[in-house]
Amino acid sequence: MINKEELQRLAEACPVEPLRLVEYAGNQMYLRNTAGIVLEVYRNRSFPQYAAINEAHARLVEATTPAVVLALLAEVKALSDLAEVVAKKLRSAQICNPLVVDVLLDEAREALADHLPKGWPNQIRQQ
């Protein structure tokens, strides 16, 4: 389980300025901001298989700004709230009128279409 509260606290504690990946002398990389170097990225020529992995991690850290983390958390919350509303409607509809369930599922599929795996709406109908 993701500790969303801790992620939010950490993101809010970071300065607005994002880190950027800077390369020096061909094989040294640093994640830094204007205050200085925050992380050094090792790309040791003796272990080239790790150089690419370390660089990939550094690029992920560079892309994961506090603003990105906060936006993702907001999106997770909005989707969670929407799922809760849909679940309540479905429970209510199943008690009152099972035919309404299909209409509510269609509404849910439409609202969540950008956030669901391909084929998901069709998979639900087949079950």
What one-character-per-residue DSSP string does 5-70 give? HHHHHHHHHS-SSPPEEEEETTTEEEEEETTEEEEEE---TT-HHHHHHHHHHHHHHHH--HHHHH
Q: How confident is the model at residue 8 (pLDDT cuts 50, 70, 90)?
A: very high
- Mean pLDDT on 87-116: 70
Same structural domain, 85 and 37? no
Last residue of a domain, one of 70, 93, 114: 70
d(CA 86, CA 92): 10
Give yes or no: residues 62 and 11 share one domain. Answer: yes
User: Do 88 and 65 fall within a single domain?
Assistant: no
Looking at the fold, whether 31 and 11 belong to one and the same domain comes out as: yes
Do 29 and 55 lie in a common domain?
A: yes
Q: Domain boundary residue among 70, 90, 105?
A: 70
What range defines the domain where residue 41 resides? 4-70
Q: Express as a percent the part of the chain with pLDDT over 70.
A: 78
Asked whether the predicted pLDDT for residue 83 surpasses 60, the reply is yes
Tell me the average pLDDT of the chain: 79
Is residue 21 domain-shared with residue 44, that is, in the same domain?
yes
Residues 53 and 25 in one domain: yes
Q: How many domains does the chain have?
A: 2
Residues 94 and 38 occupy one common structural domain: no
Question: What pLDDT is attached to residue 4?
Answer: 92
**pLDDT 10s digits, 32-50:** 988 888 888 877 767 777 8
Q: What's the pLDDT band for 69 if we cut at 50, 70, 90?
A: very high
